Amino acid sequence: MRLTHSRWALSHPRNSGEVPTLADQVEKERLKALGDKIEAAKKATQPKRSKKEEHHTAVQTGWRMVIELVAGILIGFGIGFGLDTLFGTMPIFLVLFILLGFIAGVRTMLRSAKELQEEHAAIVANDERK
């Protein structure tokens, strides 16, 4: 008689509501020990960040924020200059959109800083748990 998957699942002692046997407990312990060994091996093979790499990360973050600010200002300049040229009102829209571009750039910088702060807090919290 050939058992289908559903018949096997119902007839197997693990799924029939019976008490787990000693062999099941030993198997669980072996799997847990194997999982611990795998985690230890993963930690051992993970590259550690050197101070030089951390410095480069900080420099990249700084440049990213500067570029976000300058991009906001340049976009505001372009829109303002274009509108002033179109309407013939030279300094009005130029000044207005440069200020709006500056504000947008600062908001983007602050959002980036907040993301970095949250990432750092998560890393610190993760290290404290270990």
Contacts of 130 (CB under 8 A, 6+ apart): none
59/42 Cα distance (integer angstroms): 29
The per-residue pLDDT for range 14-47, each reduced to its tens digit, is 555 566 677 788 888 998 999 998 888 888 777 6
H helices present in the chain, as ranges: 5-11, 22-45, 51-87, 90-129
Contacts of 61 (CB under 8 A, 6+ apart): 112, 116
The per-residue pLDDT for range 48-91, each reduced to its tens digit, is 666 666 667 888 888 999 999 999 999 999 999 999 999 999 89
pTM of the entire predicted model: 0.57
Q: Considering only CA atoms, which of 127, 52, 128, 68 is closest in space to residue 101? A: 68
